[in-house]
Amino acid sequence: MNSTKEVTIYDIAKVLNISPATVSRGLKDHPGIRKDTKKKIHNAAQKMGYQQNTFASNLRRKNSKTIGVIVPRLDSYFMSSVIAGMEKVANGAGYNLIISQSQEFVKKEIASTTTLFNSRVDGLLISLSSETKNLDHFDAIFRKKIPIIFFDRVIELPNCTSVVINNERAGYDATRHLLDQGCKRVVHVSGSLNRNVYADRLKGYKKALSEKRIAFDPKLVFTNNLSDQSGAEVARQILKMNKMPDGIFTANDTTAVACIRELKQAGVKIPQDIAIVGFNNDPISRVIEPHLTTIHYPGEEMGEVAASTLINGLKNLSSGNLNTMIIRHELIIRQSSVRKTS
């Protein structure tokens, strides 16, 4: 494949009449190498087109300077922001990212885990697929004490750090806001309840209801995959209900937007007839009319925090045994939910 001969530290050593060890040290600014020697080495390396061989180095040092990332899907605004944040931090610290998607399947999550394990990543950043129920596939990782940080879709685990927002509180905030706007009958559209993000938002929803002494009605909770289609489907079901709801809180913006569109088409007035709150502060939330009230959820920051926590841990700068890092969220109120002009 690659025809050209590789330049090694031995070649440099020979040219400069010094030992390979010195070259190795000079190349990485080892303290205790004379300045002029270093300069000579760097110059020669440059001139000869030296390229360090990471495999040899990794083999020798037994680490890879690589972080594995497993996410359910890449193609959402939120996830791209997360990855962007991770990439920024990791690259800054000299790490590479190997990214793979589970596509929401456990099976793919398992396969990715094995690959990343074999690639000997120094650490893992994981957001779980909606199918995942147990963590057996991470056993090998745990046994080898490779640090894992779960983010967003996390799972409680004694020795793992998680980076999340307070989903229960966010769910509460969203629901409470609807109730404060006068809603009495609020539908909640949720995702797989295997996942904290959805289960907790549901908890928050229930809490807000009970605080206002509104009985929880399981018929008002829809769980699906939160896609465009599912959102439209929910809207159609709502239109058929005997007693229509006057508020909807969905666990993402895509679904909320699909609902709004479908409902508007059927002549429902938003927010007068039905007030709606989404989740994620996706760009579409500012485009749909009426603009969507939503929970802001800083993806890039979450990525940065997850990555830097992992890297600090790798450097043994870990701040003790901290377990859960909570990133602040924020309810952004727009027209889709505002009824009171107060």
Partner DNA sequence: TTGAAAGCGCTAACAA
Partner DNA sequence: TTGTTAGCGCTTTCAA
Q: By CB under 7 A, name the binding residues for DNA.
A: 6, 8-10, 17-22, 24-25, 27-28, 31-34, 37, 50, 52-53, 56-57, 59-62
- Beta-carbon count within 10 A of 239 CB: 14
Query: Which of 102/196 has CB closer to a second copy?
Result: 102
Cross-strand pairs, 69: 99, 125
- Does position 284 bind a second copy by CB under 8 A? yes
Q: What is the DSSP string of 306-318?
A: HHHHHHHHHTT--
The site string for a second copy over 154-193 (x = CB under 8 A, - otherwise) reads ----------------------------------------
Cross-strand pairs, 247: 186, 275
- Does position 64 bind a second copy by CB under 8 A? yes
> Does the N-terminal peptide bond of residue 271 adopt cis geometry, omega within 30 degrees of 0?
yes
Cβ pair 221, 190 in contact under 8 A: yes
Which of 29, 31, 35, 55: binder of a second copy (CB under 8 A)? Answer: 55
Q: Which of residues 116-155 bind a second copy (CB under 8 A)?
A: 117-120, 122, 140, 143-146
Binding partner selected for residue 32 from a second copy, DNA, none, CB under the kind-specific 5 to 8 Å limit: DNA
Binding partner selected for residue 19 from a second copy, DNA, none, CB under the kind-specific 5 to 8 Å limit: DNA
Binding partner selected for residue 318 from DNA, a second copy, none, CB under the kind-specific 5 to 8 Å limit: none
Which of 8, 11, 18, 58: binder of a second copy (CB under 8 A)? Answer: 58
Token readout for 261 is 């569109």
Residues 6 or more apart in contact with residue 144 via CB below 8 angstroms: 117
Token readout for 329 is 């969220």
* Residue the block writes with tokens 């927002």: 165
Token readout for 140 is 């090998």
Query: Which of 39/184 has CB closer to DNA?
Result: 39
Binding partner selected for residue 257 from DNA, a second copy, none, CB under the kind-specific 5 to 8 Å limit: a second copy
* Residue the block writes with tokens 């060890």: 21
Residue type, 140: A
